[in-house]
Structure 1
Amino acid sequence: MSAPLDIDQLQTFVAIVDTGSFTKAAGRVFKTQSAVSMQMRRLEERIGKQLFIKDGRGNRLSAEGDKLLNYARRIIRLNSEAIAAFDDNRLEGTLRIGTPDDYADRYMPEIIGRFAKTHPNVELYIVCEPSVDLAEKMAKGELDIALVTHNPQLRTSDVVRTEPLCWVGSANHPLKDDAPVPLAVGRRDCQWRQLACSALDADGRDYQILFTSWSSTVVAAAVLAGMAVSILPESALRTGMKVLTQNDGFPPLPPVQIGLMKRPGLSTSLMNAITDHISACLDNITPSSVEDDLESDVKALPRYYPRLRAGNLMPGW
């Protein structure tokens, strides 16, 4: 029988990938750099594959290392869940989380599903509102954590995910070349709306705002029906949508950054627990992997999380 993989080695391996170097990883896992290097040599011997390739003065993941990374994260997460399941000192309390509904639709099933398994005694109260409103609630102390669109000019948040921002239209309804671009966007203070209008203005492209809503469901419906064009982060693309590029006459957009706001004074243990889950889930999410897990995570919520409550929670929850 093959010997099992060493959790400690896997944790060091993930730390190297997350920090970008053996030296920084050594500080994270409280080991010397030589001990980290030794662990990676032993892990490579156990796997029988080279996990890192020399790249100048640094190292980068090999194809085999990239393949192992997903397994390593899953093994570490399951190990943590198993330990937490038998922890008599498990966390309790209430966490008030805010998120725009487009982030809730895409990210929260994964975050809630994972967090619920390890902390079933923590009640989550979830509010879905635009980033600007969530920032106001954070300032008033009405929320503990908020996922927002990162905008350092308006609010302070820690960036937890960066991804491309895309123009999207219907894959089944082509746009008229000689007509102004019909837009479905958020309210006037929506950062993405401002980006879309500024990009089209700079490109000299005529447009007309036909639909205004802070609901991602309404915006997506307008796009899928072929009635409008909008902008969405890459991970929020849906079946039936087409990404519109410069070849279609649309200017490039800057990437979107998702930020995390935290209330000062929040219990350190609660804050670390939820922020660790958020960071890990957002780091692992891809358009394909989330679609595979979404249905099972949502179905599991009543079993794992009977204490889930909603403020302005998205429809259907």
Structure 2
Amino acid sequence: MDADLLKTFLAVIRQGSFVGAAEQVGRTQSAVSQQIQRLEGLVGGPLLVRTSRAIRLTVAGERFVEYAQRLVDLADEAKRAVHGLAVQRTLRVGIVEDLAGFALAEILRRLHDEAPSLQLEIHSASTRELLPLLGFRYDVVIGMKPLASRGGVELSRLSLCWLGEWQGGPVPLALHPDGCGMRQAAIQALDAAGIDWRAAIVADGILPNIAIVRAGLAVTVLADALCPADLPRSQGLPALQPLSLRLFAHEEADRQATETLGRIISETLGAAVC
């Protein structure tokens, strides 16, 4: 049934007259009368009886009132539900573990303040794992790449640091798998300085590398602004080339949400820009 007809019927009952109902629903008195006639035609019988003094419900009208109110309430609820889905935006984000582990809380807080209706689906992994899934599993990927890399939008240039105790001799490295920018930066810096090194562990994830460094068994490389403050900084090791934190967006990604996310990440890591 047309919700407008039901609302007019309920307005007539509440106001006790067609004139009052017309004012409430914003229609003429004749239009209200026509709507009641249409509704009575739909239900198959009279709902109201008009007398010289008042309007009263028929037996059918008395039975119909509760249903009319429930139908109006359900129609309003349905509109609210559809409206909520229409305004809610979802962004599927793949993000490097370093950023997810040590800066994501502040990023999410600021993003919620600016875009409270934006819903995020977040998964963290390495850049080499995330990028192939751009456009399939992710709308946006936030990854780390060498400075000379192409593609995406640079959000920040992150300085790298050595973490862990090193007393000389071959450097025991806690390495990321092949293809990781931090692994490449560490090996290139040591080789260029003529410092021997050995792989103490190769871990597919940041947490095992942090654990072995914390245990005093290896040295690793992490972004200076995205690492635990309690880990000791290594002394005597060569300078490292920074990495570019970049945003890669699929062409169908929500542009406004993507730009907002990128700006907030860039602002949050502003102090980490080299």
TM-score (norm 1): 0.55
For 2:178, the equivalent position in structure 1 comes to 188
- Aligned 8 A contact 1:186 1:215 in 2: yes
| Alignment partner of 1:229 is 2:219 | yes
Assess if the C-alpha contact under 8 Å between 1:91 and 1:119 holds in 2: no
Q: CA deviation at 1:152?
A: 6.5
- SS state at 1:126 partner: strand
Residue 117 in 1 paired to residue 134 in 2?
A: no
Q: Distance in 1 between matches of 2:100 and 2:220?
A: 18
What is residue 154 of structure 2 aligned with on the other side?
Answer: 159
> Residue 167 of structure 1: SS of its match in structure 2?
strand
- Residue 283 (structure 1) aligns with: 270
In 2, Cα distance between equivalents of 1:261 and 1:251: 31
Give the equivalent residue in structure 2 for 1:295. Answer: none
Q: Which amino acid aligns with 1:256?
A: L
* 8 A Cα contact 1:144 1:262, kept in partner: yes
Structure 2 residue 123 is matched with structure 1 residue 108? no
Note closer, same or farther for the CA distance 1:236–1:270 as it changes in structure 2 (3 Å cut).
Answer: closer
Residue 135 of structure 1 corresponds to which residue in structure 2?
Answer: 131
Q: In 1, Cα distance between the equivalents of 2:201 and 2:103?
A: 24
1:220 alignment counterpart: 210
- CA–CA separation in structure 1 for the residues paired with 2:137 and 2:227: 31
Asked if the contact 1:147/1:260 (under 8 Å) is kept, the reply is: yes
Note the 1:28-67 alignment, pairs <5 A: none
Partner residue, 1:255: 242
- Count the aligned residue pairs: 190
CA contact (8 A) 1:150 1:159 kept: no
- In structure 2, what is the equivalent of residue 82 of structure 1? none
Letter in 1 for 2:204: W
- Tell whether the 8 Å contact from 1:106 to 1:236 is kept in structure 2 after alignment: yes
Q: Distance in 2 between matches of 1:271 and 1:278?
A: 11
Distance 1:212 1:200 in 2: 17
Stretches of structure 2 lacking an aligned partner (at least 5 in a row): 1-83
SS of corresponding position for 1:124: strand
Find the residue that maps to 1:205 and give its secondary structure. coil
Structure 2 residue matching 1:242: 3-state secondary structure: coil
Rate the CA distance shift 1:272–1:236 in 2: closer, same or farther, 3 A. closer
1:270 aligns with 2:265: no
Report how far residue 145 of structure 1 moved.
1.3
- Residues 209-250 of structure 1: per-residue CA shift (max 9 Å, x gap): 1111132111111111111001111112423322224xx2x1
Amino acid at match of 2:88: E
Q: What's the counterpart of residue 72 of structure 2? A: none
Q: Could you say what the CA RMSD is over the residues aligned between the two structures, in angstroms?
A: 2.5
In structure 1, C-alpha distance between the alignment counterparts of 2:193 and 2:147, rounded to whole Å: 25
| Separation in structure 1 between the aligned mates of residue 259 and residue 222 of structure 2, nearest angstrom | 29
Q: Within 2, Cα distance between the matches of 1:144 and 1:154?
A: 20
Preserved contact between residue 141 and residue 263 of structure 1 (Cα < 8 Å): no
In structure 2, what is the Cα distance between the partners aligned to 1:275 and 1:226? 36
Q: Within 1, Cα distance between the matches of 2:157 and 2:148?
A: 17
> Structure 1, unaligned stretches of length 5 or more?
1-87, 287-317
Provide the C-alpha distance between the structure 1 equivalents of 2:254 and 2:109, rounded to a whole number of angstroms.
21
2:144 alignment partner in structure 1: 149
Counterpart Cα distance in 2 of 1:276 and 1:188: 30
Aligned to 1:43: none
Deviations 1:108-131 (A, max 9, x none): 111111112332322210011110
Q: Sequence identity of aligned pairs in percent?
A: 25
Q: Deviations over 1:178-225 (max 9, x none)?
A: x32111011012121122112212222111111111321111111111
Farther off after superposition, 118-127 or 272-281: 272-281
Take 1:283 and 1:239, find their aligned partners in 2: how far apart are those partners? 18
